[in-house]
Amino acid sequence: MPELGEIVRAVGEEYLATRATTPFQRKAMVSMARCRTPAMGAVVKTCEECGNEYPLFRSCRNRHCPLCQSEARQAWLEARKEELLPVPYFHVVFTVPEDLNPIALYCPEVFYGALLRAAGNAILDVGRSKLHAQLGCLTILHTWGQNLSLHPHVHCVVPGGGLSLDGQRWISLRNAEYLLPIEVLRRRFRSLLSEALRTAARAGELARLPRNVPPYLTIEGAAAQQWIAYVKAPFGGPEHVLEYLSRYTHRVAISNHRILSFSDHKVTFRWRDYSDGDRSKVSTIDVIEFLRRFLLHVLPDRFVRIRYFGFMANGKRKHTIGFLRTLISRAAARSSSRGPQVRFLCPECRSNPDRSRLSVRAEEREVRPPPAATCAA
């Protein structure tokens, strides 16, 4: 099966001669074209079984190259193992209207930075207002749809609970859809991102937009629409979180196993259509168009696409995680020591009123035996 590097080597010069590209897109193309080829140099390895020597070509280590993500992903996951809490984790996804795609295309640093901050802070704000706790979350930027279209969205991993506002207790988050209501999250996310883009427009940070894309009309038109946010089912435990992160954190727009063929200036690739019942489909497009779509998702150099918020923020995460583990273990011990709860049913309607609302506590009420039956003379 063909690889992305093979396609870039075949048509890269033609693409650069006919299409405008940014410096970081050109850098990514050069890196992928050279990756694991003699142009990168090689180290000589010796087989321990037969003693045969063979060259092992170096990788480009570009974060957009499909061949160079496994080692980086594994190293990142090993570091994250030390930071997982013994609680359920939730998966929250935020996306934006297509009207904002031109801002993402022409001003990616501004737009994607504001997108990640709006997603993370929306979760923190709603956590404070609804749960009265400081939550934490990890946000991951994805810019693509399965067919390589421009589709900016943010995946968030949220631990099931947070630190009380006085910093003394762990507050469990057992039902994210109830305690982090979707409508409130959606509105807060829309408000934060819209205001961030308005501020960027006033500061002249959206000056690269073409004349037919007025920034204020674009932002206000998108702000008037219904935005998308949803909460998926909880992962269950930390092991499920790592399984999820291994699939999402270091993913690129298209992996090599989805490219089925490359011939006659055409590329055939496989993708899933989530709008059509998650059906698997196959598309064949011109190779120049295929490369154009892929380069839409090359991020600027040094742009950080995985960010942390709340008690998971970089500056204090190591200390906070250890403190939270202590609080969670204490909360679990208190919960397990309560024992079974007694239920009191009304003898008339068989309802179960709140015990704290009874005018007389059950244990304080004097229980007398019924009067002895008398016999008629």
Q: Dump pLDDT digits (tens) for 197-213.
A: 999 999 999 999 999 99
Q: What share of the chain has pLDDT > 70, as a percent? A: 85
The span from the CA of 2 to the CA of 270, in Å, is: 13
Which pLDDT belongs to residue 177? 60
Identify the helix (H) or strand (E) that includes residue 331. Answer: helix 317-336
Lowest mean pLDDT among 62-66, 169-173, 358-362: 358-362
* Helices 4-18 & 23-34 angle (0-180, nearest 10): 140
Tens digits of residue pLDDT in 19-46 = 999 999 999 999 999 999 888 888 888 8
Highest mean pLDDT among 253-267, 268-282, 306-320, 348-362: 253-267
Q: What share of the chain has pLDDT > 90, as a percent? A: 57
The CA-atom distances, in angstroms, between 297 and each of 10, 78, 181, 290 are 20, 26, 31, 12
pLDDT, averaged across the chain: 85
**Please, are residues 311 and 324 in contact by the beta-carbon 8 Å criterion?**
yes
pLDDT above 80: residue 154: yes
Reported confidence tier of residue 349, pLDDT bands at 50, 70, 90: low
Tens digits of residue pLDDT in 83-100 = 889 888 888 999 999 999
Which pLDDT belongs to residue 148? 95
DSSP code of 337?
A: T
Tens digits of residue pLDDT in 233-257 = 777 677 778 777 777 788 899 999 9
Which pLDDT belongs to residue 116? 98
Query: b/e map of 44-74 (b: 16 or more CB within 10 Å)?
Result: eeeeeeeeeeeeeebbbebbbbbbbbeeebe
Bridging pattern class, strands 259-263 and 266-273: antiparallel
**Please, are residues 286 and 148 in contact by the beta-carbon 8 Å criterion?**
no
Mean pLDDT of the region 217-246: 84
**How is 125-188 classified by DSSP, letter by letter?**
HHIIIIISEE-EEEEEEEEE-TTS-EEEEEEEEEESEEEETTSS-EEE---HHHHS-HHHHHHH
Coil, strand, or helix at residue 42? strand
The span from the CA of 320 to the CA of 328, in Å, is: 12
Tens digits of residue pLDDT in 297-328 = 999 999 999 999 999 998 888 889 999 999 99
Sequence length of the chain is 377
Measured between its terminal Cα atoms, the distance across the chain in Å is: 104
pLDDT above 90: residue 373: no
Written as one letter, the residue type at 80 is R
Which pLDDT belongs to residue 356? 43
Which pLDDT belongs to residue 277? 77
The CA-atom distances, in angstroms, between 32 and each of 27, 232, 256 are 9, 35, 12
Which pLDDT belongs to residue 369? 41
The span from the CA of 14 to the CA of 19, in Å, is: 9
The span from the CA of 76 to the CA of 34, in Å, is: 25
Which pLDDT belongs to residue 296? 96
Which pLDDT belongs to residue 173? 76
For residue 29, count CB atoms less than 10 angstroms from its CB and return exposed for 0-12, middle for 13-18, buried for 19 or more. buried
**Please, are residues 294 and 287 in contact by the beta-carbon 8 Å criterion?**
no
pLDDT above 60: residue 161: yes
Which pLDDT belongs to residue 343? 56
Token pair listed for 32: 């992928």
How many CA within 13 A on the CB side of residue 191? 11
pTM value? 0.83
Coil, strand, or helix at residue 292? helix
In the numeric block, the tokens 């499909």 are attached to 66
Identify the CA nearest to 185 among candidates 233, 117, 231: 231
Long-range contacts of the stretch 9-15 (C-beta < 8 A, 24+): 9/33, 10/262, 10/287, 11/265, 11/287, 11/288, 11/291, 12/291, 14/288, 15/288, 15/291, 15/292
Q: What residues contact 292, with CB distance under 8 A and at least 6 apart?
A: 15, 19
**Residue 280: phi, psi to the nearest 5?**
-85, 130
CB atoms near residue 353 (< 10 Å): 11
The span from the CA of 116 to the CA of 138, in Å, is: 10
